[in-house]
Chains A and B, each alone.
Chain A
Amino acid sequence: MDEMKVLLDVLAEIKDDVDFANETALVDDGIIDSLALTQIIVALDDAFDIHIVTGDIEPENFNSAAAMLELVRRCRGN
């Protein structure tokens, strides 16, 4: 299964008015706020069966869908 597609579906459920596939400054441009960020973390934890720890909650890990996928893979250790 295409993991990116799963990720984009998860993100679209949280905010359906954002072009997650193409945005590269989600945090830096203020497109996602603190509440959305928390929702994303919880959703990623559930969808990919991982646990994102405080140390990983850094802007660069959430600025784009690609960065989030990278984070998911790192959390899984692959």
Chain B
Amino acid sequence: MRNVLDWLEAAAEGAPEAAAFESPQKLLTWAETRSLARRIGSRIARQVPGQSPVMILMDKGPDCVAAMLGAVYAGCFYTPVDAAMPQARMRMIAQVLQPKLIVCQDQFLQTAASLTDGASVCLFSQMEEAVNEQLLAARRAEHIDTDLMYVLFTSGSTGVPKGVSICHRSVIDFVEWACQALELPKKVRFGSQAPFYFDNSVLDIYCAMKMAGSLYIIPHSDFMFPRRLMQTLTSRHIDTIFWVPSALSALANAQVLSQGCLPELRRVFFCGEVMPCRTLNLWRNALPQADYVNMYGPTEITDVCAWYRVDRDFADFDSLPIGKPCANTRILLIDGEICVAGTCLARGYYNAPEKTAAVFVQNPLRPQISETIYKTGDLGEVNERGELMFLGRRDSQIKRSGYRIELGEIECALNAVEGVALACCWYETEAGRIVAAYTGGVEPKIVRTGLKGALPGYMLPDRILHREELPRTLSGKIDRMALRREVENEHSIL
């Protein structure tokens, strides 16, 4: 009967007046978070049965957290959706999820109402009704820890988003591991970058909750202005961040990091894409006192399944290990592919049994017993120190002139070239061409010369393009598909 709400209740008992979730516009203490979530939970429970999908269409902020927790109090599971995403995609998500209820802020009412016929729409501003103790207790009593807690949507190769379905047990095992392994202190102060529809936010929200700490929701616009972001981190006394490497690179490249800056920042965690060692080194030089942890994990395994605490120096062109599995997690390399088993595994893709069956499969190495593994599609190897190394996506491995090439390795070399801020490359199969794009204040010719010193000739990109900015996905990662389209369109015009 374990439930993530146990942490919320403990925090509300132990630190009722302490800040829990905060944005520039709003602050909720732990007691207020619990109270608001219970009132919303009562409203939801009155409207829909337990284990119903609840879609949440709200701006990232304390209220959104309260709505998500309200769904959990009602014995339901939640799907936060980005209000800025194209409506067509939102409708596809609604089609897969078939929400029973959509909770939205006033400004999104029209959008919410247009998404699906089968769902009731509730305005967040009108949900605060009296707590129905009896109903909430009944929902809690029905709960088992393999019930779904949330469904997060990721892009699917066919264009239809896939709803990764995660249960309480997965989150509980993950958060208990994270708080201990990452040595989070009581009253930890997180500075949140990840949108709530991106699974990095699970660590932010629930570790803050378990430690009765706080989560400061950094405004999205701060990430456009490095100096403002530095001010926010300082003035809000942030001591822990869990960001995508692109966000860390942005600060490093803007040259706002200096010795003695951010004296309170003690923990810098990252996940979601490959961390260039050059960025890591800039951070470590400026903030040697902080703990740096590289994490790895697709949405399908509850945020993170492998981790590496930086314990030695790396050259700018080195690759950072992803280390070892988290607790209750087993990582297998099958034909070089990273496969994962353990309680962290999602219960599959919502309403998509075929897609689920394709990647959540029986462990072929243990046919004697039913054990599901998730095939990540990522390639890995174990280095001479016994640490797991991420080698790139399975589909980013190419063959050219008989050579097997990992595009990730080329990107690593590009990122290490002096003056390159951020780089990315891809393979145009039909033309047999490797194309690279980068940002930074250095000419493509110089980049090519730098690469020649680092890579064998067969790995050198055929085209190296300078860009002012690389497009980003909503979660802050490089949007490779968009970049590729951009470049291909320009090329077709030329």
Contact = CB atoms under 8 A, between A and B. Distances in A.
B472 A34 contact: yes
Nearest to B219: A30
B224 A37 contact: yes
16 contacts: A27-B221, A27-B224, A27-B225, A33-B220, A33-B224, A34-B224, A35-B472, A37-B224, A38-B468, A42-B468, A54-B255, A57-B224, A57-B226, A58-B225, A59-B224, A59-B228
A28 interface: yes
Contacts of A39: 468-469
A59 B468 contact: no
Contacts, number: 35
Contact of A28 (B221, B223, B254): B221
B110 to A, nearest CB: 17
A63 to B, nearest CB: 10
A57 B228 CA distance: 10
B419 interface: no
B227 interface: yes
Interface in A26-78: 27-28, 30, 33-35, 37-39, 41-42, 54, 57-59
B221 A59 contact: yes
B16 interface: no
B471 interface: yes
Contact of A58 (B223, B228, B255, B472): B228
A54 B472 CA distance: 20
For the complex, would chain A's binding face be called helix, strand, loop or mixed by DSSP majority? helix
A30 B221 CA distance: 7
B485 to A, nearest CB: 14
B469 A35 contact: yes
B224 A54 contact: no
A54 B227 CA distance: 9
B254 A54 contact: yes
* Highest count of chain A CB atoms <10 Å: which of B255, B469, B471, B472: B469
Interface of B: 220-221, 223-228, 254-255, 468-469, 471-472
* Highest count of chain A CB atoms <10 Å: which of B223, B225, B228, B471: B225
Interface residues of A, number: 15
B151 to A, nearest CB: 27
A59 B469 contact: no
A35 B227 CA distance: 18
A57 B469 CA distance: 15
A58 B468 contact: no
B221 A35 contact: no
* Highest count of chain A CB atoms <10 Å: which of B224, B225, B228, B469: B224
A43 to B, nearest CB: 10
Contacts of A34: 223-224, 469, 472
B219 to A, nearest CB: 8
Contacts of A59: 221, 224-225, 228
B188 to A, nearest CB: 28
A39 B360 CA distance: 42
A37 to B, nearest CB: 5
Contacts of B254: 54
A55 to B, nearest CB: 8
A38 B469 contact: yes
A55 B254 CA distance: 9
A33 B223 CA distance: 10
Given A27-B225, A59-B224, 17 more contacts: A27-B221, A28-B221, A30-B221, A34-B223, A34-B224, A34-B472, A35-B472, A38-B468, A38-B469, A39-B468, A39-B469, A41-B468, A42-B468, A58-B225, A58-B228, A59-B221, A59-B225
Contacts of B469: 34-35, 38-39
Nearest to A55: B227
A35 B467 CA distance: 12
A37 B250 CA distance: 14
Contacts of A33: 220, 224
A25 to B, nearest CB: 10
A28 B228 CA distance: 12
Contacts of B472: 34-35
